[in-house]
Chain A
Amino acid sequence: MMDAVAAVVAFVAALATVTFVEMVVRITVPYLLAALGGAITERAGLVDLALEAKLLFGAFTAAAIAHDTGSIALAIAGAAVAGAAVGAVQALWAIRLGADQIVTGVALNLAAYGLTRYLLQVMYGQGSNSPRIDGIGAKVWSSPLTWLALVLTAVAIVMIARTRLGLRVRAVGERPDATAAAGVSVAGTRLAAVLVGSAIAGVGGAQLSLVVNGFVAEMSSGRGYVALAAVIMGGWRPAWVALVCLGFGAAEAVQVRMQSAGTGLPPELVRLLPYLLALVLLATLRGRGRAPAALGRGA
């Protein structure tokens, strides 16, 4: 018994290192950006199940641009555009065609899995990996994405609370009829929210491929869904959503550390830690707030 306690204490002590903090930051960035983007989209009243697609296309585009140009800045910009492109399809489907938002989101994710694999084959003749690129690698404090993520978090918080677009987004997600009656374009506001939110999520995808210096098929591996869980748990409020994402990042970092430290726990199960955490939180917490009233209700 004492041995076990000592082992846990030693493990926790071993976590309190600079490298661990760096790992948490590196892992958190994609969750954070995807979730912030999702929060903005959902506040406007659209269910955002396409975060997985935005991450994946963002990651692929960033890797492809970095491969061709060697420019990290262009790669990040490209990822944002890729995310926004997914958002544009999503908006067209939800706003103009009145398609079911859940089905559309899942379809976009399936398309992202298939299309990125197909493009890998067509562009590089490889099934599961892009060629190695000069990305960011393990750098954290000198990575532009770390600081960009911080800035985007602040932008998202201020945008929702204190800008004209934010006020309109909050209104349109709650009562689109009242927003229209105030002379505000419901479709226009929603489109703007989806494009901004999707671009932010796309940047999250850039972090995925640039830190491992290449694109790997299906490298988003469910993070988009976990990020949406974080949006719900954060009550659709950017600051809380960011905190929840930090929690997921920490959980995943602990998991990675536990695997390398060899705690004796089976690695197959340790790897499930973030998923289990998300599931337990979803099942036990009712979230920090209520959903936008018009969420998912078509145009």
Chain B
Amino acid sequence: MTPSGVDRGGDGARFAELRAAAVALLAAMAAGSLLIILAGASPLEVWRTLVARTFGDAYGAGQVVFRATPLVLTGLAVAVPLRAGLFNIGAEGQMIAAAMCCAVVGAALPAATPALLALPVAMAAAAVAGGAVGAATGALRAYRGAHEVIVAILLNAIIAGVALWLGNQWLFVGEATRTASVVEGARFAELGITGSSASSSVVVALVAAAAVGWLQTRSTIGFRWRMIGGGPDAALAAGISVARDRVSAMAAAGALAGLAGAHFVLGHKHAFEEGLGRGVGFLGVAVALLAQGRAAAIVVSAVLFAALSQGGLGVAELVPKELVDVLQAVVVLVAAATLGRTTSVGGGAR
């Protein structure tokens, strides 16, 4: 087995990765066509409608941007630990904790707070809350040897329950399962693409992708993440604190997932709602794997999955919209097989 996410460099390797991604997509389309036939519809018509309802008009394209924004962030939240040999299935919980914290802080700010102050403060609250959950997951793995996948799944359930309790007990206003709205200053402006929900939070996602790209290739911490993923024992012997950098990778991941929560609160709902962003954390896994953990590729991969889920609504009259969920899983599954030897997690000094 070769450990995770280490740059092999070379055009050959890059070509192999591209080919693997293409195979994953083709396999997903083949599996999807089978399921469409099973449901008694015509694959050709479904695929055609899917493209038409996404990139075919301005509204569809705007919705794709809107849906891609959090996917870039949760994709990054999976990619950063993946390179460090950790599998972050906890973006879902990290995002919920962050969204709640972000909504509370955003609503507590004085009404007249200018955007230049309110937005960063609310986003920082989200990043810190998400980062704390990520760090806790990483610490349980690094210092207690607890399997990070199981811990994260348990934390996802626990955080959802606690958020609901906090909401019901104190934070939800009126009859709705929704917190008070954040102040005007703490809202991302809508981009105004013919009624779509796309907002300026997409800028945050792009900046985050650029920052992660820099961290992965140019920074000392990115180098350490790569080494603890590629060979934890060798990293340890070379004086790298593997435990500390496992925590730092998971904390960074949590912060990124937290920003996805901020996108929903500050850029869309303007409050925390029960069920907000559901599934986006898991979808980040598919986004990151298809992109093989590379920051730039994650943007492309996120757009693709965003188009799939937006298109899923568009084809709902033809096939059950759950089709899209299956396709996502197939992409992950095929990517796992074709990338078997380049991205693997969980090996070494457990």
Contact = CB atoms under 8 A, between A and B. Distances in A.
Whether chain B is bound by chain A comes out as: yes
Interface in A113-131: 113-115, 117-118, 121-122, 127
B161 A279 contact: no
Chain B's interface: helix, strand, loop or mixed, by majority?
helix
B322 A121 contact: yes
A110 B328 contact: yes
B87 A268 contact: no
B336 A103 contact: yes
Contacts of B19: none
Of the candidates A104, A118, A282, A291, the one having the most CB atoms from chain B within 10 angstroms of its own CB is: A118
Of the candidates B89, B282, B336, the one having the most CB atoms from chain A within 10 angstroms of its own CB is: B336
A278 B154 contact: yes
Interface string A215-235: 000000010011011001000
Interface of A: 47, 49, 89, 93, 97-104, 106-108, 110-111, 113-115, 117-118, 121-122, 127, 222, 225-226, 228-229, 232, 266, 268-269, 271-272, 275-276, 278-279, 282-284, 286, 291, 296-298
B146 interface: yes
Contacts of A222: 153-154, 157
B337 A93 contact: yes
B87 A106 contact: yes
Nearest to A298: B1
B326 interface: yes
A229 B148 CA distance: 11
Interface stretch (B189-197, B223-231, B341-349): B341-349
A225 to B, nearest CB: 4
Contacts of B145: 286
Given A102-B87, A111-B326, A122-B39, 7 more contacts: A100-B339, A110-B332, A111-B329, A118-B326, A226-B150, A269-B161, A282-B150
Interface in B116-145: 140, 144-145
Of the candidates B326, B330, B341, the one having the most CB atoms from chain A within 10 angstroms of its own CB is: B326
Nearest to A228: B150
B330 A103 contact: no
B249 to A, nearest CB: 16
A246 to B, nearest CB: 19
Interface in B304-330: 320, 322-330
A93 B150 contact: no
Contact of A97 (B164, B323, B330, B337): B337
A275 B333 contact: no
Interface residues of B, number: 53
Contacts of A228: 147, 150
B350 interface: yes
Contacts of A104: 333, 336-337
25 contacts: A100-B336, A103-B343, A103-B344, A106-B332, A107-B329, A107-B332, A110-B285, A111-B326, A113-B325, A115-B326, A118-B320, A118-B326, A122-B320, A225-B150, A229-B150, A268-B162, A275-B158, A276-B158, A278-B154, A282-B140, A282-B150, A282-B154, A283-B144, A286-B144, A297-B1
B165 interface: yes
Given A93-B336, A269-B161, A102 B346 contact: yes
Contact of B168 (A97, A106, A268, A271): A268
B220 interface: no
A122 B344 contact: no
Given A282-B150, A296-B346, A103 B332 contact: yes
Contact of A275 (B154, B341, B350): B154
B29 interface: no
B296 interface: no
A232 B154 CA distance: 15
A189 B89 CA distance: 30
Contacts of A291: 350
A49 B149 contact: yes
A115 B35 CA distance: 9
A279 B329 CA distance: 27
A278 B350 CA distance: 19
Given A98-B341, A118-B325, A275-B154, A106 B161 contact: no
Contact of A103 (B289, B323, B328): B289
Contact of A296 (B162, B286, B347): B347
Contacts of B153: 222, 225
Given A103-B332, A113-B325, A222-B153, A268 B165 contact: yes
B257 to A, nearest CB: 16
B206 interface: no
B38 interface: yes
A104 to B, nearest CB: 5
